[in-house]
Structure formats: C-alpha cells, structure tokens
Structure 1
C-alpha cells in the first residue's frame, strides 16, 4: 500500500479579507515561482512589481501591476498618496481609489518606478465578458491555468449580471475588465497552479464594514457583487474588524473558485507561509492575508460540476437506453435514469446528468433533442468529491492460462488506496473462456490487485 505522506494543503487566513493583489503577494511569499507570471506580462505588456513592506511588525510582500507598453494613461495616473487597489469592485468610480481597498499606499513602502511605468489600475476599456474571455484564451497559458481564470471571470460576470439585472452575454465589466484586474486573476491562477495544492481552504473572510462610494451611489460593505459571489461560495463571511472594504469582488471570486470553507485553520505539517500586504495601516490589526502551505490529512478531490435533470413521461425504452452514449458524447460525466411518478399518477422517469460547468449548455441541448423534453433544470450543485482514479492490468493464472483483467484503483489525495474494482467486461470475457462464474473472476482479480499494491 502507498505510504500516507499527507495531502498538499494551501490554507488562507481570512481575518483581514482578501483582494487580488493581496492573493498574488501571499502566494509569492509562500513560495510560488514568479516566473509563472511571465505569460501574463508578455500578453498584456505589464509588469508585476514585487516589493516588501511591514504591517504591524510583520514583514510582508506587496505586488503592484505596472504598464510597460504604450497604454493610454491620461486621466488614470495615480498621484502619490493614493492607494493602488487593482480590484475594488465592478462599479467603483475612479475618484474613490484613495478611499477604500487593499492597496499598497506609497507611505507603506517605496517603489523604484521608471518614468515609463505607470500603475495599471483602471487602464483599458470596460470590456464585455466575451472580450475578457478572448483575451485570456489568447495568452500562452497552461490549460489548467486558463480553465481556472475563465471560471473565475464567469463568477464575476454572473455576479455583475445579477446585480444589474442583465444577462451574462450583455454584461460589461467595469474595473475588473481592465488590464490590472485581468493580471490579478490570471496571475493568481498561475501561482496556485505552480504550488500544486491538493486542497485549498480559507477561514471565514472578513468583509470590513461601513460604506463605500461607487459610481451608482453609496453602498454598505460588503458590496453587492461580493454578496452575490459569496452566495455561491463554500466559505462564509464575517463582518469587521474595521470600517473599511476588506474583501473585494476579485478576491472573493478567486477564493470562491479555489477554496473550501473551514471554521479554523486545519492541522498541518507546515512547510511554508507567506503574507500578502494590503495598503491600509489598520493598527492594531496587521492588514495582511496569510497563506500557509503544508501536509494535511488525505481527502477526496474537489471536482467542479453541474447537475442537470428533467422529468420524462413519454420516453420510449429505446430512447432511454441510448441516452448514456449520446449524452457522454456531448460531455456528460455520468447519467442516471430513475423511475418517477408524474402528474396524474403517470409513470415516468427522472434523468439526472453530471457534467462539467462549461459543458452544461451543450449537454442540456443534447438531452432536449434526444428526449423532446421542454425543459432541463440546473439543479444548482457546484462540486462533488471524487477519488483519484487510475487503471492497472492484473494477470490471472487460471487453468494453466494467463488472462488480463483491468482494475480501477481509487485513491485519496494522499495516494492512499481505499477501493479496488475489477472491470466487469474484462471479468465477463475471462469467465466465458474459463467456465468460471463472473463473481469468482472478480474476487480473484481484486485479491491479486490488492496483493501487489
């Protein structure tokens, strides 16, 4: 059996909230390789300026996003003394930049800025959701980083659309569509990928308090977009401890995508830690986001999914029998067909389909076309917990002959084996050739597999 070496856990301490630049800084300080950010710098003509500061006696890392190209900085430059909050919200007006957010104010640390390097905050047009997707897709990113970044932007887009009563396709991002916010989101995805955690968790995230000025008026903290994102996140919110905006939409969306919620930090064999600084001096509270990296207990792996379902009262056995193959071809991961009692006590079926979130529309369309149903429900599931799965071939010596049977091995995030299952079709073939019962072949195969693991 595999030795239990512990799952790689990345844990965030959310007692002072989070923003995009704080997440970048905490991940870098905890050991992520800054070279992982190079594709973003090349694609957007910007630079991640990594620096150090001290917050209430804690040495911390800061990250500023600076333009290196010929971007238009008219009206967008920041005078000294203003914060550089890259992601304080979709609707926040530019004149509010010095009043709230997690920026690295110039009195916190010194920057050696070139004259041709300007802060990227707010630069770039208000882009549509599709325009942002196109920009990310054109970067030279690893597939996992691109998938994570696009999923985070979708969370932001859905939150913005809900707040404004618009569709996702029609929504235009405000500040989070600017280059600096794209840099925060894609950069965070790249750094998380570099650390390769098996699990990411966060304690309850502090929102701050008071009110914040936005382009549509004065709103209480947490802002509407943060509230929308938190409703679909696994973690919880906590007010305070100061009357400032501590949790920004970008920070919330990144953690909503990656992190499970925990009430307290888990037990870890600690390997590294890091502190990402915000811009405010909030004595006696150190305005930092802490990241911890270490070995924790093994667990199943979080897998983002969508669950689609529909009720059928007129589907033929032939149609139902072909759904598994048809829907899997469209992107389904699993298809279940359950007997159900419909209106007027008619017998029918409930079809439940598990798929990846990005495949839900294609799978729903295939389900409607195959069955003729007039509606497919999104059941609202966001993830499932699954084993790490691998397949191995076991050789069986039966009646002087050697037969091969495939077995499926289920492991937790530590690599610990907790289930071994022989593939039925292989076992059936061997049973036919040997005259043994299928059950006997399965038992012998699984026993042999356990003996060599």
Structure 2
C-alpha cells in the first residue's frame, strides 16, 4: 500500500508543507495559480538550501492588509472554481483552526474573527497545501507523521508573550492527539496553520510501519536555524496490510479482591475507555491465590484508567508497559436481518478488513443474537451462525 510519512523534526508550517510536496513532485504552477486565485498574494516558488540540504521554498507576499472572519473566508473560497475535493479539504482545515481559536477565546465559532489566521497569506497557504495533496493524489495514501518539533521559548502576540507552541497550535495538537516535543532550536517551529493541515490529512501519528522509500521531498522554512529548517516528507510502500495502532498495557497483581469486585472493575474500565480488559488467575508469593489485571489502553487514557484500578481494587501501583505498536484490522459495523419462524430480527455485524479491503472476518453482535435467541427459543449459537452466514452473502 502507498504511504506518505511527514517528518517534522524542524516543525511545520503551511508554506513548508506546500514546498515539501512540490519537492516530492506536485505541480508548482497549478499550486501557485490556486494560491493567487484564492488570496490577494504574489507567490514565488524556488529552489534553496538549508544547512546544505536542497529544498523547495514558497514565498508568499501579501498585496492586501486586513483579516477576515471564518464566514467571509468560506464565502470567498467556495465559488473559486477549484475541484470540489480541494474546497472540501480547505473548509475542513479552516474549521479545525476556527474551533481551536473559538475555544481559546471563549467565543462561538460564528462570532470568531481570525487575526493572523484570517490574513491573505494564511488563506493562500491552506488552499495551496490542499491543492498539492490533490495534485499528488495523496488522499488515496495512508499518511503518517512522526512527533512534531515545536521549538522553544516564547512568541510575541498582540496581547503579550506565550510559550511555544502557540495556544491555537497546542489546542489542535491536543484535539487530534498529535504527539509533539520541544526543540531543537529557539523560536516557533510549528504554526497553527501547519498543525491544522497535519491534523486534517494525517491518518496515524507517532509511529509508522516499515516503509520502502521511493521519493523524498524537502520544504524549506523561512528562517535559517542551527538545524536544517526543512520539513521532510517521504513517499513509499508499506509492506503490511493491517493498521498500526499505538497502545499501552496496564498491569497489576492483586490477591485480596473478590470476584464480584473484579467483574465490576471490567465494566468500569471498559466504560472509561479501555480497549480490552483481562483478569488472569495467578499464584502469588507464599502460595497465595490472586489475579493479574491487564488492560489495553490508548496512551492518552492510561492515567485515568490507572486511577480507576487503584480506586476499585486498593492496588498500590500499576505498571505501564509501552508497546511500539500493535497491528489491527480495519473494523466497520454493518447490519443484517434474519428470519426465524417468520419473524425478522435485526443483527449488528462486525466486519474486519485489511487496508487493501480484503475481508478477514465477520462476527455477529452477541447481545443482538442473545435477544433473538430468547424471543425465538432457539440456541444462541445457532442464531450467531445464521446471522454470520447471511452477512457473508452480502459483504464482499
């Protein structure tokens, strides 16, 4: 399967994303035309170097001062005559920015007035980046992103100084679970526009599967810093057909907790966001009987799940075991209807596929099958078999 890997070791901005995709092979003339159509700007695209690394550079010069509201921006870009996919992507990116700004300033989205983000160069950057993605056909690729370097120190705003990352960029990083790190140089390396574009286009962040590299692109930032100020993007082929997913395993041993408490703990943890819970019988020190509690969790959920385990069991500590990644199938939910004794029962079906769309497994939702078994009087295992056979007739 084709894959794209963004490697923002020196941050990311709108112009860096555009120039890296041009370096990868996107049509520079079409991108320039789209940017100048959408905004009152002059766009210069050229080759440059950053600490000896050859890269493309995009320089946007504004011809008109001022900023627009979100509604004004959307009203401007919708009738541009660009392909609908580009317009749809741009609208999504502006909404990501708008929601972040609205939350920070405590105003409704429809009342928000962009400042820096509503200026002509920001509008041009978003249209240009969406055009570049469209030109390269990257929406059909699996897109990955390594942890984003955001810089260090403080940045100046009209209302004072803020530490990097900027509040809007940080809000987007949080909302879309994009991992980030400080450094490697002073100053702002990740802009809100860069964060919003990555949030919209990236499928997997943090880790990525083995890649056979085919093409490499470099997009230069505007400054010359102590490290090469470029965004690296890699195009290649991934070997695996399953999805790479970041998880952690939480584990603790208990020897004085009743079965009723452990049964309730499973329900509590699943409600709190655990991906899976297992209770394993174990022989503890001095021959005592006990249990090992194992929980599979998303990294961002680990702390609240650990707290719940401690509260419910009295455990004094929970081990957190980081896993590089697990491989999972793409899952979808379908529905079939089965007839038993002239009565129709709707049954939900879980469908597992790999990234190539190959069907791996079909399983019927147990609670639906149990209800149908109770109402029809036939064994639940027979209901499961009937539902899964019916699903295989319709799911290819």
TM-score norm. by structure 2 comes to 0.62
Change in CA separation of 1:415 and 1:215 when aligned onto 2, cut-off 3 Å? same
Determine whether 1:175 maps to 2:116.
yes
Q: What CA RMSD, in Å, does the superposition of the two structures yield over aligned residues? A: 3.4
Distance, in Å, in 1 between the alignment partners of 2:24 and 2:331 is 27
Tell whether the 8 Å contact from 2:46 to 2:57 is kept in structure 1 after alignment: yes
Tell whether the 8 Å contact from 1:275 to 1:291 is kept in structure 2 after alignment: yes
Deviation at 1:141, TM superposition (A): 2.4
Distance, in Å, in 2 between the alignment partners of 1:164 and 1:208 is 23
- The alignment of Structure 1 onto Structure 2 pairs a total of residues equal to 278
Q: Which structure 2 residues correspond to residues 48-447 of structure 1 after superposition, within 5 A?
A: 48-65=43-60, 119-120=61-62, 123-195=64-136, 196=138, 197-264=140-207, 266-283=209-226, 285-296=227-238, 297-299=240-242, 411-419=353-361, 443=389, 446=392
Deviation per CA, 1:50-103, whole angstroms, max 9, x where unpaired?
1011111110110112xxxxxxxxxxxxxxxxxxxxxxxxxxxxxxxxxxxxxx
Distance, in Å, in 1 between the alignment partners of 2:13 and 2:234 is 17
Distance, in Å, in 1 between the alignment partners of 2:388 and 2:192 is 52
Deviation per CA, 1:322-356, whole angstroms, max 9, x where unpaired?
xxxxxxxxxxxxxxxxxxxxxxxxxxxxxxxxxxx
Tell whether the 8 Å contact from 1:24 to 1:276 is kept in structure 2 after alignment: yes
Tell whether the 8 Å contact from 1:234 to 1:260 is kept in structure 2 after alignment: no
Tell whether the 8 Å contact from 1:301 to 1:388 is kept in structure 2 after alignment: no
Deviation at 1:34, TM superposition (A): 2.8
Tell whether the 8 Å contact from 1:23 to 1:251 is kept in structure 2 after alignment: yes
Name stretches of at least 5 consecutive residues in structure 1 with no aligned partner: 1-6, 66-118, 303-384, 390-407, 422-436
Determine whether 1:23 maps to 2:2.
no
Distance, in Å, in 2 between the alignment partners of 1:415 and 1:442 is 19
Q: Secondary structure at the match of 2:9?
A: coil
Query: Larger RCO: Structure 1 or Structure 2 (Cα < 8 Å, ≥ 6 residues apart)?
Result: 1
Determine whether 1:32 maps to 2:9.
no
Partner of 2:296: none
Deviation per CA, 1:207-245, whole angstroms, max 9, x where unpaired?
101111111112211111111111112311100111111
Distance, in Å, in 2 between the alignment partners of 1:440 and 1:259 is 39
Distance, in Å, in 2 between the alignment partners of 1:51 and 1:164 is 37
Deviation per CA, 1:223-281, whole angstroms, max 9, x where unpaired?
11111111112311100111111011110111111114543554211111100011222
TM-score norm. by structure 1 comes to 0.55
Name stretches of at least 5 consecutive residues in structure 2 with no aligned partner: 246-328, 334-349, 364-381
Bigger helix share: 2
Tell whether the 8 Å contact from 1:204 to 1:263 is kept in structure 2 after alignment: yes
Partner of 2:307: none
Stretch deviating more after TM superposition (12-21 or 138-147): 138-147
Distance, in Å, in 2 between the alignment partners of 1:409 and 1:220 is 45
Stretch deviating more after TM superposition (412-421 or 125-134): 412-421
Deviation at 1:178, TM superposition (A): 1.6
Deviation at 1:42, TM superposition (A): 2.9
Tell whether the 8 Å contact from 2:40 to 2:62 is kept in structure 1 after alignment: no
Partner of 1:429: none
